[in-house]
Amino acid sequence: QYIIKTVEVESAKAKQALCESQSRNQYLQEQVGMQRQVLKEMEQQLQSSQKTVAQLRAQIMMYEAELERAQGQMLEEMQAMEEEKNRAIEDAFSRAQVEMKAVHENLAGEGGAAHRVTQLVLGGHATCPSPCLMPAGVRTNLLTLQPALRTLTHDYNSLKRQVRDFPLLLQETLRSARAEISQAIEDVHSTNRELLRKYRRELQLRKKCHNELVRLKGNIRVFGRVRPITKEDGEGPEAANAVTFDTDDDAILHLLHKGKQVSFELDKVFPPQASQEEVFQEVQALVTSCIDGYNVCIFAYGQTGAGKTYTMEGTAANPGINQRALQLLFSEVQSKAADWDYAISVSAAEIYNEALRDLLGKEPQEKLEIKLCPDGSGQLYVPGLTEFRVQSVEDINKVFEFGHVNRVTECTNLNEHSSRSHALLIVTVRGLDRSTGLCTTGKLNLVDLAGSERVGRSGAEGSRLREAQHINKSLSALGDVIYALRSRQGHVPFRNSKLTYLLQDSLSGDSKTLMMVQVSPAEKNTSETLCSLKFAERVRSVELGPVSRKAELASWPSQEQLEVTEGLPGDSPGTAAPSGRGHVSPSPGQLSSRATSIRRKLQTSG
């Protein structure tokens, strides 16, 4: 006879791991503080650079205005000098005419001499060809006028050259000023680009540190996904896109609601063009952690028609998180097959009108109850919930097809095939390390919540109205639980709804939890989108505490005892073990020759 006892031992390794986690948490908090300070300084530098650019642009405008003003002044001065030159020439010509008239009067009898004097004066000759032909007074007047005429001619030619060269000089000055200003602007732009690069790098580092800090604190991670505009949204202003994204931060989105832009910060935001593969890449680390013995919960929240079922279930050609998660689990299990034995089992349930129903059972309409495990572990399980062992992708497809047929969907004003219930896919992974005898039990809850829209907009009547009221009541209870957890109240009302009671393990600090909030970008749905995003921000601030791993040492079991049930829907399934109970019974017949070596290994590892 063999007696098995589970004893919690606080080992030195656990203490050391706890100390390391606490020191790492402190280090990350310091790093986050330092990164915030660096970001603040970079933002100040960026603002300073932007101010410098603005000042340089203002100086450019001022220089151009001054150049235009100088050009105008120079043109005015040239025009004034031209006029002054013309006046001086006219005055000199008038004086010459007066003097020539006087010469004509003095030399009235000498017409030929007067004519030659006139030619000499008007022609600007410097010397008299024949002094004997010119009286002394005329010669003196000519000597007086010639320097003045020479000076005027020189000034005129100089002004003419300046007027001809001024456009070239102005263009050269403008070219030089523009080159200097362009160089200054290029230097500022280069500095801004470098600052922006550092800013984005620090932002990514800050986000990485923040995510690590969130993981250590146990916060609920929140991803957002925006579906594309579809033909069902109609046409016109009501179908306009009201959601925009931050180009520098993939965790921020903006919603235009009633003419005002409202910004929301989540852990990650997926735009409409994001593929199913891109979404799953962000959540696959959570999925694989259930193999290591952790509880994981991923649930989709949002109004009807926002894409919750598409994200969780997808289509046959483009599967969603549910099928991709199980495929990934199979791949991970195969990679560890040399050292571990794993058994993966699947259950599917729905909460319809506050009644829990088994989607894989022979009687899907039968109501089930949620109870505490009788082993005293405090875990919840559902007696009578069918649990199927799956070993291949074909098994998964048969389970999904059988469960999808039994789920309740109806047509509403917001969606032609609206999910009228909360669907839960529960994946249990039990593992045994053959070398140490360590048993692990991890549970993956994949939840597709019903639509969160208002009753008036869904157009529900009769039984549809009753369904909508139950949906809103359960979602309201979920909101009350989130509020109680966020405000750290002593009592958390998990029992107010079947949904919150079933998700108690996922929301009470013993699970890694991810919320995928689905939103519609259409203008007509902005009210529901606003409510969904506000709820997502509240959920993101909830701290569940560090996550614990479910593992225990046990004797060597047989492969048959790892199997929960054989067969698929349509076969004759075996009896399922209660969900949440991670204990595997020993097999005395297989403890013979290897028991001594296993105990020796356990003593050595201990």
Could you list the residues known to form a binding site for ATP, using ranges. 302-309
C-alpha–C-alpha distance, residues 109 and 111, integer Å: 6
Per-residue burial over 354-375, b = 16 or more CB atoms within 10 Å of its CB, e = otherwise: eebbbbbbeebeeebeeeebee
Residue pointed to by tokens 């832009």: 261
Helix axis angle for 393-406 and 321-335, nearest 10°, is 150
CB contact set of 365 (below 8 Å; sequence gap of 6+):
357
Do 547 and 342 contact (CB within 8 A), yes or no? no
325: Cα separation from own chain's centroid: 24
C-alpha–C-alpha distance, residues 286 and 321, integer Å: 12
Cβ atoms within 10 Å of 507's Cβ, excluding its own: 23
* Whole-number Cα distances in Å, 514 to 102, 283, 447, 481: 115, 8, 10, 16
C-alpha–C-alpha distance, residues 584 and 555, integer Å: 9
C-alpha–C-alpha distance, residues 47 and 53, integer Å: 10
Binding region:
302-309
Evaluated on CA atoms 212, 215, 219, 220, the torsion sign reads positive
Question: Which of 532, 526, 521 is closest to 229 using CA atoms?
Answer: 521
Do 333 and 342 contact (CB within 8 A), yes or no? yes
